[in-house]
Structure 1
Amino acid sequence: MTLPNCDTLLLERDGGVLHVTLNRPDSRNAMSLAMVGELRAVLAAVRDDRGVRAIVLRGAGGHFCAGGDIKDMAGARAAGPDAYAALNRAFGGLLEEAQAQPQVLVAVLEGAVLGGGFGLACVSDIAIAVADAQFGLPETSLGILPAQIAPFVVKRIGLTQARRLALTAARFDGDQALRLGLVHFSEADAAALGQRLAECLEQVHRCAPGANAATKALLLATESEALGPLLDAAARQFADAVTGAEGAEGTMAFVQKRKPNWAQ
């Protein structure tokens, strides 16, 4: 696996974990078109690499992401509506790809988690926030729409809460994000945040990478596929897994009372 060169991201591989840090701290890691492109390239580069078990996404400088980049939007203004639509849809493409990424996507949420940052939190498999993080969908207060984010917010927290948050641009903290089901953990401080991240990554490490990828795809398919055909396909996948290398290793490890090779 060769990772792309990035100007807006910091990349660090630590064993089976790829740490991706949004690195535009002067703008609270606002999501530029360049950053969108680099994130999509990184996700594509590791998509088929089962040696990467988890991707940890966070922001530099104490903030996760404060939303879209105003400079990009100003530049699109001169080119007209089509340029705005293309700029907006590119971020939606990133969310689609991140949602479907085979690896476990972990979002570590500090400071501003607004607009596009909120959207990224909604497509994570595990979301860990610090209690004083600030979440919100500010778009309507700026006279615009959370156009690409909205479907992912609805799927994450439900239509009723999404309507309230999007139509009031209300801000809320990590504890409220936990109550809404937006995040899985709200931690008191940075030290507790780091401890929780290490715990979650250790749990991911126990799970077979191929089984995790197939399970994630199965869970996502429940939102769009009919139940009968979905269960038919799942039965075939189960049979392939049981008779495959991971299934054989997992069964043998259980009998021999040892850790399977992916958890060594």
Structure 2
Amino acid sequence: MGPTHRGVRLTAEPHVLRATLTSPDGLNSLSGDALDALGAALDRAEADPECRVLLLEGSGGTFCTGLDFEEAAGDAAGGASQAGRGGAEFLALMRRFGETPLAVVACVDGRAAGGGVGLAAAADLVIATERSEFSLPEALWGLVPCCVLPVLVRRTGFQPAYAMALSTQPVSARRAADFRLVDEVVPDPDAAVRRLLVRLTRLDPATIGELKQYFRAMWFTTEDTDAFALREFTRLIDSPVARRRITDYTTTRRLPWEKPRP
């Protein structure tokens, strides 16, 4: 087990760099520090000529819950440009997942919400345990999952992503596999990764990169898509509804659905 830095623990294994989100509060949210640490993990994996896989996972029954609301509340107080900073960093990280010549594998064991769903959807392969569930609760906060939806729609198609965003209801790992957010539901994710490695280590990283580039060229997610997503995220997180609900949460620790409708 490797050291933990900025809420991410890195463990080097043969042909794999394992990046484990392990924040002290157990939410495994995507703070600026966590995003920086995940970017640094990708740098390290790419610099290792023997590495084939960047493995993303959570800890304590939570994969990732997305936006760090404490940080978002502070950013929102600094104005729209400051509020959009985290969104820009998140979009850049997901784009790197698509461009790296490594295979990015998300192992989800437990809860994935908001940006955590995006983190999984941006990976090349998603493995989940039976107890895992996926949700997009952004609308409850007065937001839209702007940064998540481009990569999610690429995986699932329009309607499953739309239903998740509108209903805000969690879906099980089996249901997520039905609409292709999850590639495999397994009792033992480590065993599934080992099986993948048997195949992936036979591929040259350049071939993995070419394969990913070809598929990326066939899809609609572009830098223009990212720019649109960031504009909308920045606008919405600075809206009165979102600012009020996020501030209420950071002040009272009560979630929006735990109090009467305003």
- How many angstroms apart in 2 are the aligned matches of 1:82 and 1:172? 33
> Higher relative contact order at CA 8 Å, sep ≥6: structure 1 or structure 2?
2
- How many angstroms apart in 2 are the aligned matches of 1:9 and 1:100? 22
Contact preservation (8 Å) 1:178, 1:184? yes
Paired residue for 1:220? 216
- How many angstroms apart in 2 are the aligned matches of 1:122 and 1:57? 12
* Post-superposition CA distance 1:91-115 (Å, at most 9, x none): 1111111222210011000111111
Pair 13,105 (structure 1): closer, same or farther in 2 beyond 3 Å? same
Aligned with 1:206 (options 178, 202, 207): 202
Q: What secondary structure is seen at the aligned counterpart in 1 of 2:105?
A: strand
Pair 104,167 (structure 1): closer, same or farther in 2 beyond 3 Å? same
Query: How far is 1:53 from its partner?
Result: 0.6
- How many angstroms apart in 2 are the aligned matches of 1:58 and 1:217? 24
Q: What secondary structure is seen at the aligned counterpart in 1 of 2:29?
A: coil
* Post-superposition CA distance 1:46-86 (Å, at most 9, x none): 33543211111101222110121111111112212221112
Q: Cα RMSD between the aligned structures?
A: 2.0
| Paired letter, 1:30 | S
| Paired letter, 2:191 | Q
Paired residue for 2:245? none
Paired residue for 1:39? 38
Query: How far is 1:224 from its partner?
Result: 5.3
- Runs of 4+ displaced beyond 4 Å: none
Query: How far is 1:15 from its partner?
Result: 1.8
TM-score normalised to structure 2 length = 0.78
Query: Comparing 196-205 with 166-175, which one deviates more in the overlay?
Result: 196-205
Q: Does the alignment pair 1:58 with 2:54?
A: no
Work out the percentage of aligned pairs sharing the same amino acid. Answer: 29
- How many angstroms apart in 2 are the aligned matches of 1:44 and 1:5? 16
- How many angstroms apart in 2 are the aligned matches of 1:50 and 1:221? 25
Query: How far is 1:5 from its partner?
Result: 8.1
Contact preservation (8 Å) 2:26, 2:60? no
Paired residue for 2:91? 92
Query: Comparing 97-106 with 199-208, which one deviates more in the overlay?
Result: 199-208
Query: How far is 1:45 from its partner?
Result: 3.5
Paired residue for 2:135? 136
TM-score normalised to structure 1 length = 0.78
Contact preservation (8 Å) 2:154, 2:219? no
Q: How many residues matched?
A: 220
* Post-superposition CA distance 1:203-262 (Å, at most 9, x none): 21222222222222222122259xxxxxxxxxxxxxxxxxxxxxxxxxxxxxxxxxxxxx
Pair 47,40 (structure 1): closer, same or farther in 2 beyond 3 Å? same
Q: What secondary structure is seen at the aligned counterpart in 1 of 2:131?
A: coil
Query: How far is 1:25 from its partner?
Result: 5.0
